[in-house]
Amino acid sequence: MKKTMILFAVGFTSLCAAKPINTQALQACTLIENDFKRLMCYDNVIANKPITEAQSGKAITSKNKVSEARSAEKIESKEGGFGLEYKVKAASEEIEEITAKLVKTSTQGRNKMVFTLDNGQVWRQVSSETFFANEGDTLIIERASFGSFLMKKAGSNRTTRVKRVN
């Protein structure tokens, strides 16, 4: 009986000694849009570590201007890398879809279409379903499951699975 009481007393005192979680810091973490940074913020709050100003979403003017310029450069390079994640590690994983005009179509083995877009990207049809697109049509390529991509014409629900060639 004494051993049980001692274990209970030690366990109870350790619970009383624990610091309470800072709810304001948790609320500040909810304002962070980047998933990884938000998770790091939550981890720091739970571990009772201080969160930095950049993590809490507060404005830092000089750093924000530099980061905005860098992010604009990254967006341009990310859009250029859309669909090439398997080749280029710096490619965008944040962009969910791109829109471009169709410049040229050609056929490659077993009636698979090859689409050349106005932004210089070339996409090859992977699936075997019939997909019609004319030059000048606006195409939307969006991210699908397991690293694949779906292409559709603007205003249409018909899609085809595609893979980026270049």
What's the pLDDT score for residue 79? Answer: 67
pLDDT in tens, 74-100: 445 556 667 766 555 544 557 888 999
CB 51 within 8 A of CB 25: yes
Q: How far apart are alpha carbons 93 and 75 in whole angstroms?
A: 11
Domains of the chain, residue spans: 2-58, 97-164
Of 22-36, 83-97, 106-120, 130-144, minimum mean pLDDT range: 83-97
With cut-offs at 50, 70 and 90, classify the pLDDT of residue 140.
very high
Residue 30 has pLDDT above 90, yes or no: no
Q: What is the pTM of this model?
A: 0.47
CB 110 within 8 A of CB 125: no
What's the pLDDT score for residue 5? Answer: 73
